[in-house]
Amino acid sequence: MSDSKPLTLSEWFHQETKYDRRTINLLPRPDFDGQPMPWKQWHSRHPVDLVPYLPFEDFPLGPAEDQEPLDPRSLGDEVRAISRTLFFTCGATGFQQTPEGTQIFRAAPSAGALYPTEVMVVLREIEGLKDGLYAYSVPHHQLVLLYEGVEMEEVAAACWDDPAFEDAKMCVVLTGLWQRSRWRYHDRAYRRILLDTGHVLGNLVHAAGHEGYQAKIRTRFIDSRLQSLLFLDDAEEGVLALVPLVPWQSAGIEVRDEEPLSLKASTGSPLTNPPAEDPIVALQRAGELLENSSSQALAMKPALAVQQQNEFALQGTMADLSGEFCSISVQRRSTRQFTGAPIEVSDLGRILDFSHRFLRASSTQLLGAGPLLDVHCITQRVKGIDSGHWLYCCEKHRLILRKAGDHRRSLQEYCLGQDLAGDAAAAVIYSAPLTEAVRLLGDRVYRDLHLDSGFLGHQINLGSMRLNTGVSGIAGFFDDSLGKFLGLPEGHIVTYITLIGDPMPSG
Ligand SMILES: Cc1cc2nc3c(=O)[nH]c(=O)nc-3n(C[C@H](O)[C@H](O)[C@H](O)COP(=O)(O)O)c2cc1C
Protein backbone atom coordinates (compact mmCIF):
# COMPACT_ATOMS: atom_id res chain seq x y z
CA MET A 1 0.00 0.00 0.00
CA SER A 2 1.17 3.52 -0.76
CA ASP A 3 2.55 5.39 2.30
CA SER A 4 1.53 8.79 1.06
CA LYS A 5 -2.12 8.24 0.28
CA PRO A 6 -4.12 5.73 2.31
CA LEU A 7 -6.74 3.99 0.21
CA THR A 8 -10.25 3.09 1.24
CA LEU A 9 -11.11 -0.61 1.20
CA SER A 10 -12.98 -0.23 -2.10
CA GLU A 11 -9.97 1.38 -3.75
CA TRP A 12 -7.62 -1.21 -2.30
CA PHE A 13 -9.86 -4.07 -3.41
CA HIS A 14 -10.20 -2.67 -6.89
CA GLN A 15 -6.45 -2.19 -7.15
CA GLU A 16 -5.79 -5.73 -5.93
CA THR A 17 -8.22 -7.30 -8.39
CA LYS A 18 -7.00 -5.50 -11.49
CA TYR A 19 -5.87 -7.58 -14.41
CA ASP A 20 -2.46 -6.61 -15.69
CA ARG A 21 -0.68 -7.98 -18.70
CA ARG A 22 2.43 -8.74 -16.63
CA THR A 23 0.73 -10.63 -13.82
CA ILE A 24 -2.43 -12.21 -15.21
CA ASN A 25 -0.65 -15.47 -15.97
CA LEU A 26 0.48 -15.73 -12.36
CA LEU A 27 -3.09 -16.20 -11.15
CA PRO A 28 -3.69 -19.78 -10.01
CA ARG A 29 -5.45 -21.98 -12.56
CA PRO A 30 -9.04 -22.76 -11.59
CA ASP A 31 -9.58 -26.13 -9.98
CA PHE A 32 -12.24 -27.56 -12.28
CA ASP A 33 -12.79 -30.49 -9.93
CA GLY A 34 -13.67 -28.05 -7.17
CA GLN A 35 -16.36 -26.18 -9.06
CA PRO A 36 -19.44 -25.63 -6.87
CA MET A 37 -22.90 -26.45 -8.19
CA PRO A 38 -24.47 -23.47 -10.02
CA TRP A 39 -27.59 -23.76 -7.84
CA LYS A 40 -28.47 -24.80 -4.33
CA GLN A 41 -30.14 -28.16 -4.23
CA TRP A 42 -33.43 -27.76 -2.43
CA HIS A 43 -35.83 -30.59 -2.09
CA SER A 44 -39.33 -30.66 -0.73
CA ARG A 45 -41.88 -33.40 -0.90
CA HIS A 46 -44.56 -30.77 -1.58
CA PRO A 47 -43.01 -27.98 -3.63
CA VAL A 48 -44.90 -25.25 -5.45
CA ASP A 49 -44.57 -26.45 -9.03
CA LEU A 50 -44.35 -23.34 -11.20
CA VAL A 51 -44.18 -25.17 -14.55
CA PRO A 52 -47.96 -25.33 -15.24
CA TYR A 53 -48.10 -21.52 -15.25
CA LEU A 54 -45.56 -21.07 -18.05
CA PRO A 55 -46.91 -19.94 -21.41
CA PHE A 56 -45.57 -23.11 -23.08
CA GLU A 57 -45.64 -26.81 -22.25
CA ASP A 58 -42.29 -28.35 -22.92
CA PHE A 59 -40.22 -27.53 -19.82
CA PRO A 60 -37.70 -30.39 -19.58
CA LEU A 61 -37.46 -30.86 -15.82
CA GLY A 62 -40.72 -31.01 -13.95
CA PRO A 63 -41.20 -32.39 -10.44
CA ALA A 64 -38.99 -35.28 -9.34
CA GLU A 65 -40.57 -38.72 -8.97
CA ASP A 66 -40.79 -38.49 -5.20
CA GLN A 67 -42.47 -35.08 -5.24
CA GLU A 68 -46.16 -34.32 -4.91
CA PRO A 69 -46.51 -30.64 -5.76
CA LEU A 70 -49.24 -28.60 -4.11
CA ASP A 71 -52.49 -28.69 -6.07
CA PRO A 72 -52.47 -25.62 -8.37
CA ARG A 73 -56.24 -25.26 -7.91
CA SER A 74 -55.66 -24.45 -4.25
CA LEU A 75 -53.22 -21.62 -5.02
CA GLY A 76 -53.86 -17.91 -5.54
CA ASP A 77 -53.65 -16.18 -8.91
CA GLU A 78 -50.41 -14.49 -7.93
CA VAL A 79 -48.56 -17.80 -8.36
CA ARG A 80 -48.83 -17.41 -12.10
CA ALA A 81 -47.17 -14.00 -11.84
CA ILE A 82 -44.43 -15.44 -9.61
CA SER A 83 -43.86 -18.31 -12.02
CA ARG A 84 -43.53 -16.14 -15.10
CA THR A 85 -41.62 -13.35 -13.38
CA LEU A 86 -38.99 -15.77 -12.06
CA PHE A 87 -38.75 -17.73 -15.28
CA PHE A 88 -38.27 -14.76 -17.56
CA THR A 89 -35.87 -13.19 -15.06
CA CYS A 90 -33.51 -16.07 -14.38
CA GLY A 91 -35.17 -19.35 -15.37
CA ALA A 92 -33.56 -22.26 -17.18
CA THR A 93 -33.89 -21.35 -20.85
CA GLY A 94 -31.20 -23.52 -22.43
CA PHE A 95 -30.21 -27.15 -21.82
CA GLN A 96 -26.99 -28.40 -23.38
CA GLN A 97 -25.57 -31.89 -23.03
CA THR A 98 -21.86 -31.93 -22.17
CA PRO A 99 -19.54 -34.83 -21.24
CA GLU A 100 -19.98 -33.75 -17.59
CA GLY A 101 -23.79 -33.71 -17.70
CA THR A 102 -26.41 -31.13 -18.57
CA GLN A 103 -25.32 -27.50 -18.68
CA ILE A 104 -28.23 -25.17 -18.00
CA PHE A 105 -28.24 -21.66 -19.43
CA ARG A 106 -30.53 -19.04 -18.04
CA ALA A 107 -32.61 -16.05 -18.97
CA ALA A 108 -29.93 -13.70 -17.65
CA PRO A 109 -26.31 -14.05 -18.75
CA SER A 110 -23.56 -14.77 -16.25
CA ALA A 111 -19.80 -14.39 -16.39
CA GLY A 112 -18.41 -17.84 -17.17
CA ALA A 113 -21.96 -19.26 -16.88
CA LEU A 114 -21.38 -19.72 -13.14
CA TYR A 115 -24.64 -18.12 -11.96
CA PRO A 116 -23.59 -16.89 -8.52
CA THR A 117 -26.86 -15.01 -7.98
CA GLU A 118 -29.26 -17.03 -5.89
CA VAL A 119 -32.97 -16.20 -5.87
CA MET A 120 -35.48 -16.42 -3.04
CA VAL A 121 -38.91 -14.88 -2.53
CA VAL A 122 -40.73 -13.71 0.56
CA LEU A 123 -44.47 -14.26 0.20
CA ARG A 124 -47.41 -13.05 2.25
CA GLU A 125 -51.14 -13.61 1.96
CA ILE A 126 -51.00 -15.76 -1.17
CA GLU A 127 -53.94 -18.12 -1.14
CA GLY A 128 -52.91 -21.71 -0.44
CA LEU A 129 -49.35 -20.83 0.56
CA LYS A 130 -47.82 -20.22 3.93
CA ASP A 131 -46.26 -16.82 4.51
CA GLY A 132 -42.50 -17.10 4.60
CA LEU A 133 -39.25 -17.39 2.71
CA TYR A 134 -39.13 -19.64 -0.37
CA ALA A 135 -36.13 -20.73 -2.43
CA TYR A 136 -36.37 -20.73 -6.21
CA SER A 137 -35.19 -24.02 -7.67
CA VAL A 138 -33.96 -23.10 -11.16
CA PRO A 139 -33.68 -26.56 -12.77
CA HIS A 140 -37.16 -27.66 -11.69
CA HIS A 141 -38.81 -24.23 -11.77
CA GLN A 142 -40.26 -24.69 -8.32
CA LEU A 143 -40.56 -22.85 -5.05
CA VAL A 144 -39.51 -24.64 -1.90
CA LEU A 145 -40.57 -23.32 1.48
CA LEU A 146 -37.48 -22.60 3.58
CA TYR A 147 -38.69 -20.72 6.66
CA GLU A 148 -42.22 -19.95 7.72
CA GLY A 149 -41.07 -17.38 10.24
CA VAL A 150 -39.75 -14.84 7.76
CA GLU A 151 -42.31 -12.07 7.43
CA MET A 152 -42.59 -9.27 4.90
CA GLU A 153 -42.86 -6.73 7.73
CA GLU A 154 -39.46 -7.76 9.01
CA VAL A 155 -37.94 -7.43 5.55
CA ALA A 156 -39.50 -3.97 5.28
CA ALA A 157 -38.10 -3.07 8.69
CA ALA A 158 -34.62 -3.96 7.42
CA CYS A 159 -35.31 -1.31 4.74
CA TRP A 160 -36.20 1.40 7.27
CA ASP A 161 -39.92 0.57 6.73
CA ASP A 162 -39.78 1.58 3.10
CA PRO A 163 -43.39 2.15 1.92
CA ALA A 164 -42.63 0.09 -1.21
CA PHE A 165 -43.33 -3.01 0.89
CA GLU A 166 -46.77 -1.93 2.06
CA ASP A 167 -48.71 -3.31 -0.91
CA ALA A 168 -46.27 -6.09 -1.77
CA LYS A 169 -47.32 -9.71 -1.39
CA MET A 170 -44.11 -10.86 -3.04
CA CYS A 171 -40.55 -9.72 -2.58
CA VAL A 172 -37.69 -11.14 -4.62
CA VAL A 173 -34.42 -11.48 -2.70
CA LEU A 174 -31.15 -11.75 -4.62
CA THR A 175 -28.03 -12.95 -2.89
CA GLY A 176 -24.49 -13.49 -4.11
CA LEU A 177 -22.65 -16.73 -3.39
CA TRP A 178 -18.99 -15.81 -3.29
CA GLN A 179 -17.41 -19.22 -3.89
CA ARG A 180 -19.56 -20.03 -6.90
CA SER A 181 -17.65 -17.44 -8.90
CA ARG A 182 -14.48 -17.14 -6.88
CA TRP A 183 -13.27 -20.69 -7.49
CA ARG A 184 -12.61 -19.47 -11.02
CA TYR A 185 -12.17 -15.71 -10.88
CA HIS A 186 -10.49 -15.36 -7.46
CA ASP A 187 -11.29 -12.13 -5.62
CA ARG A 188 -12.24 -10.35 -8.83
CA ALA A 189 -15.29 -12.61 -8.69
CA TYR A 190 -16.99 -10.03 -6.46
CA ARG A 191 -17.16 -7.59 -9.38
CA ARG A 192 -18.66 -10.25 -11.62
CA ILE A 193 -21.17 -11.36 -9.00
CA LEU A 194 -22.41 -7.78 -8.74
CA LEU A 195 -22.53 -7.37 -12.53
CA ASP A 196 -24.38 -10.69 -12.90
CA THR A 197 -26.89 -9.64 -10.24
CA GLY A 198 -27.36 -6.35 -12.08
CA HIS A 199 -28.26 -8.36 -15.18
CA VAL A 200 -30.84 -10.35 -13.20
CA LEU A 201 -32.35 -7.09 -11.94
CA GLY A 202 -32.32 -5.83 -15.50
CA ASN A 203 -34.61 -8.69 -16.51
CA LEU A 204 -36.72 -8.50 -13.38
CA VAL A 205 -38.10 -5.01 -14.07
CA HIS A 206 -39.40 -6.17 -17.46
CA ALA A 207 -40.59 -9.60 -16.34
CA ALA A 208 -42.56 -8.17 -13.42
CA GLY A 209 -43.90 -5.36 -15.60
CA HIS A 210 -45.16 -7.92 -18.07
CA GLU A 211 -47.18 -9.56 -15.27
CA GLY A 212 -48.64 -6.25 -14.09
CA TYR A 213 -46.19 -5.54 -11.28
CA GLN A 214 -43.69 -2.81 -10.66
CA ALA A 215 -40.34 -4.13 -9.46
CA LYS A 216 -39.12 -1.68 -6.83
CA ILE A 217 -35.42 -2.40 -6.64
CA ARG A 218 -33.88 -1.77 -3.23
CA THR A 219 -30.12 -2.24 -2.86
CA ARG A 220 -29.88 -0.32 0.43
CA PHE A 221 -30.88 -2.09 3.62
CA ILE A 222 -29.63 -2.91 7.08
CA ASP A 223 -27.42 -5.82 6.07
CA SER A 224 -26.91 -7.56 9.40
CA ARG A 225 -30.65 -7.68 10.07
CA LEU A 226 -31.37 -9.30 6.74
CA GLN A 227 -28.49 -11.72 6.94
CA SER A 228 -29.79 -13.07 10.24
CA LEU A 229 -33.46 -12.93 9.20
CA LEU A 230 -32.64 -15.08 6.15
CA PHE A 231 -30.16 -17.29 8.06
CA LEU A 232 -27.24 -16.41 5.78
CA ASP A 233 -23.59 -16.75 6.70
CA ASP A 234 -21.89 -13.64 5.38
CA ALA A 235 -18.63 -15.53 4.91
CA GLU A 236 -20.42 -17.46 2.17
CA GLU A 237 -23.27 -15.37 0.86
CA GLY A 238 -24.59 -11.82 1.03
CA VAL A 239 -27.91 -10.14 0.24
CA LEU A 240 -27.46 -7.82 -2.74
CA ALA A 241 -30.98 -6.69 -3.62
CA LEU A 242 -34.56 -6.77 -2.37
CA VAL A 243 -37.30 -6.25 -4.89
CA PRO A 244 -40.86 -5.89 -3.62
CA LEU A 245 -43.30 -6.46 -6.46
CA VAL A 246 -46.19 -4.04 -6.30
CA PRO A 247 -49.29 -4.20 -8.54
CA TRP A 248 -49.10 -1.35 -11.03
CA GLN A 249 -52.43 0.15 -10.02
CA SER A 250 -51.22 0.71 -6.45
CA ALA A 251 -47.56 1.19 -7.24
CA GLY A 252 -47.46 4.77 -8.42
CA ILE A 253 -44.50 5.65 -10.57
CA GLU A 254 -41.40 6.44 -8.64
CA VAL A 255 -39.84 9.40 -10.30
CA ARG A 256 -36.83 11.25 -9.13
CA ASP A 257 -38.66 14.07 -7.47
CA GLU A 258 -35.86 14.59 -5.02
CA GLU A 259 -33.20 16.82 -6.45
CA PRO A 260 -30.51 15.87 -5.80
CA LEU A 261 -31.04 12.16 -5.24
CA SER A 262 -30.28 11.13 -1.69
CA LEU A 263 -28.76 7.77 -0.71
CA LYS A 264 -27.89 6.05 2.55
CA ALA A 265 -24.13 6.00 3.02
CA SER A 266 -21.82 3.56 4.75
CA THR A 267 -18.41 4.45 6.13
CA GLY A 268 -15.40 4.68 3.84
CA SER A 269 -12.50 5.01 6.21
CA PRO A 270 -8.96 4.91 4.87
CA LEU A 271 -7.20 1.61 5.42
CA THR A 272 -4.15 1.42 7.55
CA ASN A 273 -3.47 -2.22 6.73
CA PRO A 274 -4.88 -4.62 4.14
CA PRO A 275 -7.76 -6.62 5.64
CA ALA A 276 -6.80 -9.80 7.44
CA GLU A 277 -10.02 -11.52 6.37
CA ASP A 278 -11.25 -12.65 2.98
CA PRO A 279 -11.22 -9.49 0.78
CA ILE A 280 -14.69 -10.13 -0.68
CA VAL A 281 -16.23 -10.57 2.75
CA ALA A 282 -14.28 -7.57 4.03
CA LEU A 283 -15.59 -5.31 1.28
CA GLN A 284 -19.15 -6.61 1.59
CA ARG A 285 -18.94 -5.89 5.34
CA ALA A 286 -17.34 -2.50 4.86
CA GLY A 287 -20.33 -1.52 2.74
CA GLU A 288 -22.87 -2.51 5.38
CA LEU A 289 -25.57 -0.02 6.27
CA LEU A 290 -26.75 0.33 9.83
CA GLU A 291 -29.99 1.28 11.52
CA ASN A 292 -28.73 4.83 11.90
CA SER A 293 -26.82 5.24 8.62
CA SER A 294 -27.35 8.75 7.34
CA SER A 295 -28.29 9.84 3.82
CA GLN A 296 -26.08 11.84 1.51
CA ALA A 297 -27.13 13.95 -1.42
CA LEU A 298 -25.84 12.63 -4.71
CA ALA A 299 -24.98 15.91 -6.36
CA MET A 300 -21.99 14.91 -8.40
CA LYS A 301 -21.71 16.28 -11.90
CA PRO A 302 -20.56 14.20 -14.87
CA ALA A 303 -16.92 13.79 -14.17
CA LEU A 304 -15.18 13.69 -17.52
CA ALA A 305 -14.27 16.72 -19.56
CA VAL A 306 -15.55 16.77 -23.14
CA GLN A 307 -14.91 18.86 -26.22
CA GLN A 308 -18.33 20.24 -27.06
CA GLN A 309 -17.35 21.11 -30.64
CA ASN A 310 -17.64 17.60 -32.00
CA GLU A 311 -21.06 16.26 -31.13
CA PHE A 312 -23.14 13.71 -32.98
CA ALA A 313 -26.90 13.92 -32.50
CA LEU A 314 -28.29 10.38 -32.54
CA GLN A 315 -31.61 9.91 -34.29
CA GLY A 316 -32.75 6.38 -33.53
CA THR A 317 -34.81 5.84 -30.38
CA MET A 318 -36.54 2.84 -28.81
CA ALA A 319 -39.09 3.47 -26.09
CA ASP A 320 -39.78 -0.16 -25.25
CA LEU A 321 -39.34 -3.73 -26.43
CA SER A 322 -42.74 -3.75 -28.18
CA GLY A 323 -44.02 -6.71 -26.20
CA GLU A 324 -41.04 -8.83 -27.23
CA PHE A 325 -39.46 -9.12 -23.79
CA CYS A 326 -40.52 -12.70 -23.04
CA SER A 327 -39.38 -14.13 -26.36
CA ILE A 328 -36.10 -12.20 -26.14
CA SER A 329 -35.52 -13.49 -22.63
CA VAL A 330 -36.08 -17.11 -23.67
CA GLN A 331 -34.07 -16.91 -26.90
CA ARG A 332 -31.30 -14.61 -25.71
CA ARG A 333 -27.73 -15.92 -25.88
CA SER A 334 -24.47 -14.02 -25.63
CA THR A 335 -22.72 -13.67 -28.97
CA ARG A 336 -19.61 -15.83 -29.20
CA GLN A 337 -18.32 -14.36 -32.46
CA PHE A 338 -19.02 -11.24 -34.49
CA THR A 339 -18.63 -11.25 -38.26
CA GLY A 340 -16.91 -7.88 -38.23
CA ALA A 341 -19.62 -6.34 -40.42
CA PRO A 342 -20.90 -2.88 -39.45
CA ILE A 343 -24.17 -1.96 -37.79
CA GLU A 344 -26.20 1.15 -38.61
CA VAL A 345 -25.82 4.26 -36.49
CA SER A 346 -29.61 4.44 -36.19
CA ASP A 347 -29.54 1.02 -34.48
CA LEU A 348 -26.76 2.13 -32.16
CA GLY A 349 -28.93 5.15 -31.31
CA ARG A 350 -31.92 2.91 -30.58
CA ILE A 351 -29.90 0.64 -28.31
CA LEU A 352 -28.31 3.52 -26.38
CA ASP A 353 -31.66 5.28 -26.01
CA PHE A 354 -33.46 2.19 -24.76
CA SER A 355 -30.71 1.22 -22.32
CA HIS A 356 -30.04 4.58 -20.74
CA ARG A 357 -33.60 5.74 -20.10
CA PHE A 358 -32.89 4.53 -16.60
CA LEU A 359 -30.11 7.07 -16.19
CA ARG A 360 -32.15 10.11 -17.15
CA ALA A 361 -32.93 12.55 -14.38
CA SER A 362 -36.66 12.10 -14.96
CA SER A 363 -36.57 8.31 -14.85
CA THR A 364 -37.70 5.89 -12.17
CA GLN A 365 -35.53 5.51 -9.12
CA LEU A 366 -34.15 2.13 -10.01
CA LEU A 367 -30.46 2.79 -9.95
CA GLY A 368 -28.53 3.58 -6.78
CA ALA A 369 -25.44 5.20 -8.18
CA GLY A 370 -26.28 5.34 -11.87
CA PRO A 371 -25.80 9.12 -12.05
CA LEU A 372 -22.15 8.59 -11.13
CA LEU A 373 -21.44 6.47 -14.20
CA ASP A 374 -19.89 7.86 -17.35
CA VAL A 375 -21.01 6.13 -20.53
CA HIS A 376 -18.30 5.68 -23.15
CA CYS A 377 -19.03 4.45 -26.61
CA ILE A 378 -16.29 3.16 -28.90
CA THR A 379 -17.52 3.12 -32.48
CA GLN A 380 -15.51 0.64 -34.52
CA ARG A 381 -17.69 -0.27 -37.46
CA VAL A 382 -20.85 1.79 -37.35
CA LYS A 383 -22.26 3.05 -40.64
CA GLY A 384 -22.96 6.76 -40.53
CA ILE A 385 -20.54 7.82 -37.80
CA ASP A 386 -16.75 8.08 -37.65
CA SER A 387 -14.79 5.57 -35.65
CA GLY A 388 -13.65 6.88 -32.32
CA HIS A 389 -14.09 7.14 -28.59
CA TRP A 390 -17.21 9.10 -27.65
CA LEU A 391 -19.03 9.91 -24.44
CA TYR A 392 -22.77 9.31 -24.51
CA CYS A 393 -24.96 12.04 -23.05
CA CYS A 394 -28.27 10.33 -22.27
CA GLU A 395 -30.17 13.55 -21.55
CA LYS A 396 -29.49 14.90 -25.05
CA HIS A 397 -29.11 11.53 -26.80
CA ARG A 398 -25.82 12.70 -28.26
CA LEU A 399 -22.33 11.35 -28.61
CA ILE A 400 -19.49 13.71 -27.81
CA LEU A 401 -16.11 12.92 -29.33
CA ARG A 402 -13.13 12.34 -27.08
CA LYS A 403 -10.69 10.68 -29.48
CA ALA A 404 -11.18 10.01 -33.18
CA GLY A 405 -9.63 6.94 -34.78
CA ASP A 406 -9.83 3.22 -35.35
CA HIS A 407 -9.32 1.60 -31.93
CA ARG A 408 -10.25 -1.98 -32.83
CA ARG A 409 -6.94 -3.64 -32.11
CA SER A 410 -6.36 -1.62 -28.95
CA LEU A 411 -9.76 -2.57 -27.58
CA GLN A 412 -9.15 -6.21 -28.37
CA GLU A 413 -5.86 -6.08 -26.53
CA TYR A 414 -7.43 -4.37 -23.47
CA CYS A 415 -10.15 -7.06 -23.41
CA LEU A 416 -7.53 -9.71 -22.67
CA GLY A 417 -6.99 -10.26 -26.39
CA GLN A 418 -10.54 -11.53 -27.00
CA ASP A 419 -11.36 -11.50 -30.74
CA LEU A 420 -14.91 -10.57 -29.85
CA ALA A 421 -13.76 -7.07 -28.90
CA GLY A 422 -11.81 -6.49 -32.09
CA ASP A 423 -14.67 -7.73 -34.27
CA ALA A 424 -17.44 -5.82 -32.48
CA ALA A 425 -19.09 -2.91 -34.24
CA ALA A 426 -19.23 -0.87 -31.04
CA ALA A 427 -18.50 -1.10 -27.32
CA VAL A 428 -20.29 0.60 -24.45
CA ILE A 429 -18.05 1.03 -21.42
CA TYR A 430 -18.98 2.36 -17.98
CA SER A 431 -16.54 4.19 -15.76
CA ALA A 432 -16.96 5.85 -12.39
CA PRO A 433 -15.09 8.23 -10.08
CA LEU A 434 -14.52 5.63 -7.37
CA THR A 435 -12.41 7.71 -5.01
CA GLU A 436 -14.86 10.60 -4.95
CA ALA A 437 -17.88 8.28 -4.80
CA VAL A 438 -16.53 6.41 -1.76
CA ARG A 439 -15.67 9.70 -0.07
CA LEU A 440 -19.33 10.69 -0.48
CA LEU A 441 -21.23 7.43 -0.02
CA GLY A 442 -18.81 5.09 1.70
CA ASP A 443 -17.77 1.63 0.58
CA ARG A 444 -21.38 0.64 -0.16
CA VAL A 445 -21.09 2.53 -3.41
CA TYR A 446 -18.76 -0.13 -4.80
CA ARG A 447 -21.73 -2.49 -4.92
CA ASP A 448 -23.99 0.09 -6.55
CA LEU A 449 -21.52 1.02 -9.26
CA HIS A 450 -21.25 -2.60 -10.37
CA LEU A 451 -24.90 -3.56 -9.88
CA ASP A 452 -25.96 -0.53 -11.91
CA SER A 453 -23.42 -1.24 -14.64
CA GLY A 454 -24.75 -4.81 -14.92
CA PHE A 455 -28.33 -3.51 -14.98
CA LEU A 456 -27.54 -1.09 -17.80
CA GLY A 457 -25.46 -3.69 -19.62
CA HIS A 458 -28.49 -5.92 -19.52
CA GLN A 459 -30.65 -3.27 -21.12
CA ILE A 460 -28.05 -3.13 -23.91
CA ASN A 461 -28.47 -6.90 -24.25
CA LEU A 462 -32.25 -6.63 -24.49
CA GLY A 463 -32.22 -3.64 -26.84
CA SER A 464 -29.69 -5.32 -29.12
CA MET A 465 -31.62 -8.59 -29.19
CA ARG A 466 -34.77 -6.65 -30.09
CA LEU A 467 -32.92 -5.50 -33.24
CA ASN A 468 -31.33 -8.90 -33.94
CA THR A 469 -27.94 -7.42 -33.15
CA GLY A 470 -25.29 -9.52 -31.42
CA VAL A 471 -24.21 -8.58 -27.90
CA SER A 472 -21.98 -9.79 -25.06
CA GLY A 473 -20.82 -8.55 -21.69
CA ILE A 474 -17.08 -8.41 -21.00
CA ALA A 475 -15.87 -8.27 -17.41
CA GLY A 476 -12.27 -9.31 -18.08
CA PHE A 477 -10.05 -6.40 -19.13
CA PHE A 478 -6.70 -4.87 -18.34
CA ASP A 479 -7.95 -2.14 -16.04
CA ASP A 480 -5.15 0.38 -16.13
CA SER A 481 -4.43 0.15 -19.86
CA LEU A 482 -8.10 0.55 -20.67
CA GLY A 483 -8.49 3.41 -18.18
CA LYS A 484 -5.51 5.17 -19.73
CA PHE A 485 -6.89 4.70 -23.22
CA LEU A 486 -10.22 6.18 -22.09
CA GLY A 487 -8.37 9.13 -20.54
CA LEU A 488 -9.72 8.43 -17.05
CA PRO A 489 -8.32 10.68 -14.34
CA GLU A 490 -6.77 9.16 -11.22
CA GLY A 491 -9.36 7.61 -8.93
CA HIS A 492 -11.69 6.62 -11.78
CA ILE A 493 -12.35 2.97 -12.60
CA VAL A 494 -13.82 0.98 -15.46
CA THR A 495 -16.74 -1.15 -14.25
CA TYR A 496 -18.04 -3.00 -17.31
CA ILE A 497 -17.94 -3.38 -21.08
CA THR A 498 -20.72 -4.48 -23.42
CA LEU A 499 -19.93 -5.29 -27.03
CA ILE A 500 -22.44 -4.93 -29.84
CA GLY A 501 -22.05 -6.17 -33.40
CA ASP A 502 -23.12 -8.33 -36.29
CA PRO A 503 -23.42 -11.89 -34.90
CA MET A 504 -21.85 -14.84 -36.69
CA PRO A 505 -24.71 -17.26 -37.44
CA SER A 506 -24.40 -20.24 -35.10
CA GLY A 507 -24.14 -23.85 -36.24
C1 LIG B 1 -20.72 -9.95 -16.18
C2 LIG B 1 -20.48 -10.76 -17.42
C3 LIG B 1 -19.22 -10.85 -17.95
C4 LIG B 1 -18.97 -11.59 -19.12
N5 LIG B 1 -17.71 -11.61 -19.65
C6 LIG B 1 -17.50 -12.27 -20.81
C7 LIG B 1 -16.22 -12.23 -21.43
O8 LIG B 1 -15.29 -11.59 -20.95
N9 LIG B 1 -16.07 -12.90 -22.62
C10 LIG B 1 -17.10 -13.60 -23.19
O11 LIG B 1 -16.92 -14.20 -24.27
N12 LIG B 1 -18.32 -13.66 -22.61
C13 LIG B 1 -18.54 -13.01 -21.44
N14 LIG B 1 -19.78 -13.03 -20.86
C15 LIG B 1 -20.86 -13.86 -21.45
C16 LIG B 1 -20.98 -15.18 -20.68
O17 LIG B 1 -19.95 -16.04 -21.03
C18 LIG B 1 -22.35 -15.81 -20.95
O19 LIG B 1 -23.34 -15.00 -20.39
C20 LIG B 1 -22.47 -17.20 -20.34
O21 LIG B 1 -21.62 -18.11 -20.95
C22 LIG B 1 -23.90 -17.71 -20.44
O23 LIG B 1 -24.31 -17.79 -21.77
P24 LIG B 1 -25.53 -16.98 -22.35
O25 LIG B 1 -25.33 -15.52 -22.03
O26 LIG B 1 -25.49 -17.22 -23.81
O27 LIG B 1 -26.76 -17.46 -21.70
C28 LIG B 1 -20.04 -12.29 -19.73
C29 LIG B 1 -21.31 -12.21 -19.18
C30 LIG B 1 -21.54 -11.45 -18.06
C31 LIG B 1 -22.93 -11.34 -17.48
Q: From 95, 330, 334, 455, give the residue whose CB has the most ligand 1 atoms within 8 Å, as the site to mutate.
A: 334
Closest-CA residue, ligand 1 atom 9, reads 474
Fold of 9-29+299-501: NADH Oxidase (3.40.109)
Note the pTM of the prediction, 2 decimals: 0.96
* H-type alpha helices, 163-221: 178-185, 189-210
Does the beta carbon of 334 lie inside 6 Å of ligand 1?
A: yes
Nearest-atom number in ligand 1 for the CA of 192 is 1
Write the pLDDT tens digit of every residue in 388-416.
999 999 999 999 999 999 999 999 999 99
> Predicted confidence band at 495 (pLDDT cuts at 50, 70, 90)?
very high
> Predicted confidence band at 98 (pLDDT cuts at 50, 70, 90)?
confident
Residue 313: pLDDT above 70?
Answer: yes
CA 413 – ligand 1 centroid, Å: 18
Evaluated on CA atoms 439, 441, 446, 448, the torsion sign reads negative
- Pairing of β 343-344 and β 382-383: parallel
- Domains 9-29+299-501 and 35-251 fall in the same CATH topology: yes
Does the beta carbon of 280 lie inside 6 Å of ligand 1?
A: no
Question: Do residues 115 and 94 make contact, with C-beta atoms less than 8 angstroms apart?
Answer: no
Determine the average pLDDT of the residues in 23-45: 90
Determine the average pLDDT of the residues in 420-443: 96
Show me where the domains of the chain are located: 9-29+299-501, 35-251
Q: What is the spatial distance between Cα 499 and Cα 468, in angstroms, rounded to a whole number?
A: 14
* H-type alpha helices, 291-344: 325-331
Q: From 472, 497, 504, give the residue whose CB has the most ligand 1 atoms within 8 Å, as the site to mutate.
A: 472
pLDDT at 325: 96
Does the beta carbon of 397 lie inside 6 Å of ligand 1?
A: no
Question: Do residues 457 and 473 make contact, with C-beta atoms less than 8 angstroms apart?
Answer: yes
The CATH number of 35-251, from 3.40.109.10, 3.40.640.10, 3.40.50.970, 1.10.3450.40, is 3.40.109.10
pLDDT at 199: 98
> Predicted confidence band at 250 (pLDDT cuts at 50, 70, 90)?
low
- How many alpha carbons lie under 13 Å from residue 198 in its C-beta half-sphere? 32
